[in-house]
Structure 1
Amino acid sequence: MTKEKFELAQIEKQAELAKNEDVDETVKAPTIGVRHWQVSILFLLVWLAYGIRVSLSVAIVAMTDPTASTNPNVPVYPEWTDKSIILSAFFWGYVIPQIVAGWLAGRFGSKWFLFGAMGVCGSMCILLPSMAAGLGSKGVMINRAIQGLCQGFLFPNTHHLLSQWVPPDERSRLGTLVYAAGPFGTVIGMLVTGWISASNFGWPLVFYLYGGASLLWSLLCLIATHNSPLDHPKISEAERFYIEHSLGHSEGKPNLRTPWKSIWTSLPLWAILISHCGQNWGFWTLMTEIPNYMGHVMNFDIKSVSVFAIKRKPFMKYPIMKFQNSVLSALPYFVLWILSFIMSFISDSLIVRRILTVGTTRKIFNTIGLLIPAVALIFLGLTPADDPNRAVSLLVVAVGFNAGIFCGFNVNHVDISPNHAGILMGITNGISNIFGIVAPLLVQFLVSDEADPNQWKIIFFMTAAVYVGADIFYISFGSGEVQKWNDDPDDDKESKTP
């Protein structure tokens, strides 16, 4: 008997024993396998996607400032007065395909949609400098809207692939690995874009690099990505059995009719949706408006002020730590990225060891991800203008502990309906990003005087209230159980716990 056949026989034996003895046992799997390679490819996808998304937010400063680069030959457009519209253009396309993308993923698989979407997105990145030169700001808007349209396919298809490849007991950490690539991509994007834009190379190189990397990823996707373990030609029988047995896909499933009525009337889905909307409201408020608050209210010059200054002692010669603009902007998202891994391992450990149910674990970490930032925002609003160090600390807490949502609602779509996870992500991601657009616009409406701390208190307290309200709704109606409409829309059997 070969080693692979022996491992498969052992896994089948464990599964049969667990079934016959009615014991809740986890079927053992190869520690590292093809599923981890598939997840790693998705990590690179999300990393690049967020880098592309955030790159223009930093590069547009250099695009409109003749003194930004050391190279006088780098093109600049100081006459552009519509920068805020340019930055919002990405979302014009992003919200459009979400639900359809999820439906297509469930029906035809994700590989070709990811390949095409990232290929077109990368090509548009490469074309952006030319469109800026030939069509001005309107050309950049068109370019970014097309990039957004392409990226609108990414997360529903990514969620669908996770539902096919990731067993429930590994869902928190592997799902977090993929989606935590977002803040990691934000950190790298801010730092790299800031450095290149200020260098002799100039801002166009940023888009050539991200565009080229996206095309390379598309090639990797074409070669190495597969829609499910059943489609993978080199996966071991032992690992395939483990994944499919864990997910209940061991016999393969035909294309199921989408239970639209059951989906839209499902309270667990609405709990995810409300949480997702609250998350995007707070995330984009912080992303877009905190620099204005720090500059106008706190009089915070992040190019020169010392942050977390270490007091000198007679026997110690510590340098005072100073942070440049891009580094300080990236710091909260770096903390978020680190905390996301810590929380994901704790979350999966609680589930695997049967200490808590899937639903309870999701609610605990969702609460960490929303309520701690809410408290930090309240204290941020009460922070006096002469205490910038405290303000930065609270900002790091508000963004960093938001990592809890990766083990909360963000993977909950797969818990409640593995077969329709792509569609569910399309629904919540599409609708929630509308709030990501509205929230910064509301700040502009309410904050007429950017130097007035009382007006900023309204923003921080309102955002905290949104976080709290979203979490309360999720705690009340969220679930970790597979819903009865997951397998058969016409089947009235009870929901089952994964």
Structure 2
Amino acid sequence: MFLFTRKNIREKYEYQLIEGGDAINKYNPKWLGQRHFQIFLNFLLTFIAYGMRVNLSIGIVAMTDANASKNPDIPVYPEWHDKSIALSSFFWGYIIPQIGAGMLASKYGPKWFLVGTMFVGSIFSIIIPPMANLFGSKGVMVCRMIQGFTQGFIFPSVHYNLSKWAPTSERSRMGSFVYAGGSIGSVVSMIVSGMIASSWYGWPMIFYCYGGFGIAWSILMGLYGANSPAEHKTISTEEKKYIEHNLGHDEHKKAVSTPWKKILTSLPVWAVLISHCGQNWGFWTLITEIPSYMGHVMKFDIKSNSLLSALPYFVNWIFSFLCSAVADMLIVRKFCTVGVTRKIFNSIGLVIPAVALTILGLGTKTANQSIALLVVAVGMNSAIYSGFNINHIELSPNHSGTLMGFTNCISNVFSLVAPLLVQVVVSDENNADQWKIVFFTAAAVYVATNTFFVFFGSGRVQPWNEEAKAKKEDDVLDETAQRGPTS
């Protein structure tokens, strides 16, 4: 029988497997292992996926500006007046598969769903230029809607993977690394998209490149990805047992049914959901509209626009590592409980950006001040990766993928609505006063939703996490008692 002990967890994080009282192996989780490669695959996934999401924010500026490219043969469509609708079309498809994707990931494992959906989404990235030429902005909307549908599988599946591959003592860092892939992916996408759009190749090359990246990732995941340590063919016994014991569960256990009634009546789940809704409202308002704000209010050309639009997300990426390291330290050294740590970082990630957006809305004297406030608003927002964003796993490791699918589905309705509000409110993109309404609204949503999380959030595993399993075991015991002893 194996026992699992921890030594010097605050300093070395060394773990030792013991059989019959004798040490048989020592595993130091600071070494690179298979779990790190699986986490890296998930990082690449969010990096490429967010690049695909964001590239239209820069691309659509070039698609409607005859002066964007040096090549006069690149097609442009200045007659398009539904750009914010086109930017929101991604979410028309994105919200559809979320809950089902989480349940499928829990039942069958996420690997092949991710491989297939990323491949299909990449094909539709490649055909955006011809669809724009043939069917105008409506053709782009169709492609983006299908891309959104395929990416609807990503976060429920990634969350499930984290619940299987990320040990508790490394969870904040691993979760932040994976999800911060979206931030650095946004940075690279904005910069690269701006450079490509202003080059001889023009805006179509943006979508060809990202389609190729997505196909390459699908092949890599198909060859080397795994749903869990139990299914990985080359993982060492020591690392496998380290992960399983650290997570407090056996990977060979059968899946339990989803206790939907308990989930839907759980205040900690609602705290995550409401905070997720507020995050998506603010994040997608900024990520889709900053290029337009930079171009029309601050008067930057497309190349400068892409660089400055990317700067806040670069800071977001850097700051995420600092937050996750501090969060893990607070938990491991028992300075704060898991729940308190999540609330602290969630507040940093939502309240400080709200203050920055409020100041931005009140008005600034120079463009540099506006840029600085946008950097603070987006950069500090990365603290949520150590806040509500990882909290699903702590509430219910068994149902983390389903929970992420549930909250991501509902919250992305707000990702869809936020750009549409801009379409309604900002009738004149050069009017700074109209943009104030956008910033004030996002700030108010941030503060209100974080307040709910602070009051009702939790860092404890909920009783219904293994309720179905416990009920089944009770039924077996009752049946045995009724039959009586056997000879």
Pairwise TM-score range, normalised by the shorter structure: 0.7 to 0.9
Matches within 5 A, 1:76-475: 76-250=76-250, 252-290=252-290, 300-303=298-301, 324-384=304-364, 386-447=365-426, 455-475=434-454
Distance 2:168 2:421 in 1: 39
Deviates more, 1:100-109 or 1:279-288: 279-288
Find the counterpart in structure 1 of residue 466 from structure 2: 487
Q: Secondary structure at the match of 1:12?
A: strand
| Deviation digits for residues 235-289 of structure 1 (CA, Å, limit 9, x no counterpart) | 1111100111111223621021111111111111100001011111111222344
Distance 2:238 2:446 in 1: 43
Deviation at 1:202, TM superposition (A): 1.7
Q: 1:442 to 1:129 in 2, by over 3 A?
A: closer
Find the counterpart in structure 1 of residue 485 from structure 2: none
Instruction: Judge conservation of contact 1:30–1:238 (CA < 8 Å) in 2.
Output: no
Distance 2:66 2:20 in 1: 67
Find the counterpart in structure 1 of residue 474 from structure 2: none
Distance 1:414 1:360 in 2: 15
Instruction: Judge conservation of contact 1:28–1:242 (CA < 8 Å) in 2.
Output: no
Unaligned runs of 5+ in 1: 1-6, 18-26, 305-322, 493-498
Q: Secondary structure at the match of 1:38?
A: helix
Q: Which amino acid aligns with 1:177?
A: F
Deviation at 1:115, TM superposition (A): 0.6
Distance 2:290 2:35 in 1: 39
Deviates more, 1:341-350 or 1:447-456: 447-456
Instruction: Judge conservation of contact 2:294–2:305 (CA < 8 Å) in 1.
Output: no
Deviation at 1:302, TM superposition (A): 3.0
Instruction: Judge conservation of contact 1:172–1:344 (CA < 8 Å) in 2.
Output: yes
Deviation at 1:324, TM superposition (A): 1.5
Instruction: Judge conservation of contact 2:426–2:435 (CA < 8 Å) in 1.
Output: yes
Distance 1:122 1:479 in 2: 38
Instruction: Judge conservation of contact 1:163–1:418 (CA < 8 Å) in 2.
Output: yes
| Deviation digits for residues 167-219 of structure 1 (CA, Å, limit 9, x no counterpart) | 11111000000000111111111111111111111222211111111111101
Distance 2:281 2:393 in 1: 23
Q: Which amino acid aligns with 2:349?
A: G
Deviation at 1:389, TM superposition (A): 2.1
Deviation at 1:450, TM superposition (A): 5.7
Q: Which amino acid aligns with 1:253?
A: K
Distance 2:283 2:15 in 1: 46
Q: 1:14 to 1:353 in 2, by over 3 A?
A: farther
Q: Which amino acid aligns with 1:301?
A: K
Q: Which amino acid aligns with 1:12?
A: L
Distance 2:91 2:417 in 1: 11
Unaligned runs of 5+ in 2: 1-6, 8-13, 472-487
Q: Secondary structure at the match of 2:62?
A: helix
Q: Which amino acid aligns with 2:17?
A: E
Find the counterpart in structure 1 of residue 37 from structure 2: 37
Q: Does 1:12 align with 2:17?
A: yes
Deviation at 1:80, TM superposition (A): 3.2
Q: Secondary structure at the match of 2:18?
A: helix
Relative to the length of structure 1, the TM-score reads 0.86
**What is the Cα-based RMSD across aligned positions, in Å?**
2.5
Instruction: Judge conservation of contact 1:96–1:152 (CA < 8 Å) in 2.
Output: yes
Instruction: Judge conservation of contact 1:71–1:201 (CA < 8 Å) in 2.
Output: yes
Q: Secondary structure at the match of 2:458?
A: coil
Q: Secondary structure at the match of 2:393?
A: helix
Give the ranges of 4+ consecutive aligned residues of structure 1 lying more than 6 Å apart after TM superposition: 14-17
Q: Which amino acid aligns with 1:254?
A: K
Instruction: Judge conservation of contact 1:380–1:460 (CA < 8 Å) in 2.
Output: yes
Instruction: Judge conservation of contact 1:262–1:489 (CA < 8 Å) in 2.
Output: no
Deviation at 1:88, TM superposition (A): 1.9
Distance 1:451 1:227 in 2: 49
Relative to the length of structure 2, the TM-score reads 0.88
Instruction: Judge conservation of contact 2:341–2:387 (CA < 8 Å) in 1.
Output: yes
Q: 1:10 to 1:338 in 2, by over 3 A?
A: closer
| Deviation digits for residues 284-330 of structure 1 (CA, Å, limit 9, x no counterpart) | 2223444555666xx533349xxxxxxxxxxxxxxxxxx81111111
Find the counterpart in structure 1 of residue 58 from structure 2: 58
Find the counterpart in structure 2 of residue 67 from structure 1: 67
Q: Secondary structure at the match of 1:129?
A: helix
| Deviation digits for residues 438-460 of structure 1 (CA, Å, limit 9, x no counterpart) | 22333444455666655544443
| Deviation digits for residues 409-443 of structure 1 (CA, Å, limit 9, x no counterpart) | 00111111111111111111111111122223334
Deviation at 1:76, TM superposition (A): 2.8
Distance 2:20 2:63 in 1: 60
